[in-house]
Chains A and B, each alone.
Chain A
Amino acid sequence: MNKIVSILVILAALLGGYLAVAHVSGAAFATLGLPLGGDRGELRRTALQFMEDVQFKDFQKAAAYHAPELIDTVDIPFLIQRLFAVKPEALDIMDYEVVFAELDSSGLRARVKLRVRAKLLLNERIEERELILYFYRDTVADPWYMKLEDSLRQLTPDSTRIHE
């Protein structure tokens, strides 16, 4: 009996230790479905939910991670096309994972780097892309909003400046 109790105590301690590490690391390790990791954990979960919505072509829900006043203006299919150079219907997102999530010193801006593996259905080629999602909030009490336009925006040359 004592042995069983000891084993259970050790297992509970190991599990508790693991969850504590997962929390402190900002959910860099699997949190077993628990809302751990603080802001970084929340950002990781949001980024993964966003990718799941894109994977299942639910662009309306994918747009919902933006500020309420921007939701109607966000064109996710266009942005996806710009990233993978194919139309969303010709793209099969197979796999995605968070590389890291970090906050700036103010705690009001954040970025999450993702690794996305996708199959281009037109030529059956598998490609990997890295993308960074940027988030912001006005105060630490506010929810995080995505700035997808910024995340995927291509640089357009400023005609008023010299580039050589």
Chain B
Amino acid sequence: MTSVPDSRPPVTVLAARYRATLLGEPGGLLLLLLQAPLIGFLCAVVWGSIERDTPALYFVLCLTAVWFGCINACREIVKERAIFERERLFGVRPRDYVLSKARVLAGLGAVQVILLQGTVEWSLSLRGPMPLELLALFGASLAGTGLGLLVSALASTQERAVFAVPLLLLPQILFSELAIPDTLYSDVVATVEKLMPVHWAYRVFEESTALEPRWHMVALALVVLFAMGALLIGAATLATMPRREVVT
């Protein structure tokens, strides 16, 4: 019996294989998916007690979306480094490999943010257009995925990658209006805050729920958010390349 060469692009083939791997572990996948309605339910309980949404709820949703992306992705490269190194010798390019991961994880992130916001909206309708807010959460999840893949590409073991996730998420809280009012920011804090994906996702919520929304700011925040996601995935690709290839 002869095998027929797969004519699909390498990214598609690798993504299909990765998807099959994830679906092959339904328990793990279910656990990843169940996080979203669980956190959404907890948000609904807390904010349901005051029967209204507040900026803190938007921040928690944005932070959760980044967390989802990060935690989904942080082990995905490091855990199969040996396999990837072997496949790279047979012509699998780091770019295709990382993009295949990002593609599947983006899909997983999309389902998670829909479940997260859906659970909150079930009991408490958030102000502002829901599709726009979903897009912001998806952008945050994508940036988190990029961050997670970068960590995974740089980490030497799975444990170290998982350990790095809280260290990446804590600054998202520290450099935010949740810590101190933005009027009190020093220049450094104001600059660092702009590097945080949560900040831009939160800006989408903040602007679109204002009494007089500035839609150009919403568009800008979304563009920055998705650009961050793309840059981080690009950085993860660079980190996956062998040192010599990076130098030349």
CB within 8 Å of B: which residues of A? 21, 25, 28-29, 97-100, 113, 115, 117, 126-128, 130
Contacts and interface: CB of A to CB of B under 8 A. Distances in A.
A113 B51 contact: yes
A113 B127 CA distance: 13
Interface in B58-115: none
B121 A29 contact: yes
Nearest to A94: B211
A113 B122 CA distance: 14
B55 to A, nearest CB: 14
A49 B118 CA distance: 24
17 contacts: A21-B118, A25-B122, A28-B122, A28-B123, A29-B118, A29-B121, A29-B122, A98-B125, A99-B51, A99-B52, A99-B124, A100-B51, A113-B51, A115-B127, A126-B211, A127-B211, A130-B52
A126 B212 contact: yes
A157 to B, nearest CB: 25
A32 to B, nearest CB: 14
A28 B122 CA distance: 5
B228 to A, nearest CB: 29
Nearest to A29: B121
B114 to A, nearest CB: 10
Q: Is the interface of B mostly helix, strand, loop or mixed?
A: loop
A129 to B, nearest CB: 11
Interface of B: 51-52, 118, 121-125, 127, 211-212
B124 A100 contact: yes
B127 A100 contact: no
A115 B118 CA distance: 19
Contacts of A98: 125
A29 B125 CA distance: 9
Contacts of B121: 28-29
A128 B211 contact: yes
A28 B211 contact: no
B125 A100 contact: yes
The interface centre, meaning the residue of B51, B124, B125, B127 with most chain A CB atoms within 10 A of its CB, is B125
A21 B122 CA distance: 9
B123 A100 contact: yes
Contacts of A100: 51, 123-125
B118 A97 contact: no
Nearest to B123: A100
Nearest to B212: A126
Nearest to B121: A28
Contacts of B52: 99, 130
B125 A99 contact: yes
Nearest to B48: A100
Nearest to A44: B125
A12 B121 CA distance: 23
Closest 9 CB pairs of A and B: A126-B211, A25-B122, A99-B125, A28-B122, A126-B212, A28-B121, A97-B125, A100-B124, A98-B125
Given A25-B122, A28-B122, A100-B124, 11 more contacts: A21-B118, A28-B121, A28-B125, A29-B118, A29-B121, A99-B52, A99-B125, A100-B51, A100-B123, A126-B211, A128-B211
A106 B212 CA distance: 41
B206 to A, nearest CB: 15
A3 B243 CA distance: 43
B125 A117 contact: no
Contacts of A29: 118, 121-122
Contacts of A113: 51
A91 B125 CA distance: 24
B128 to A, nearest CB: 10
A126 to B, nearest CB: 5
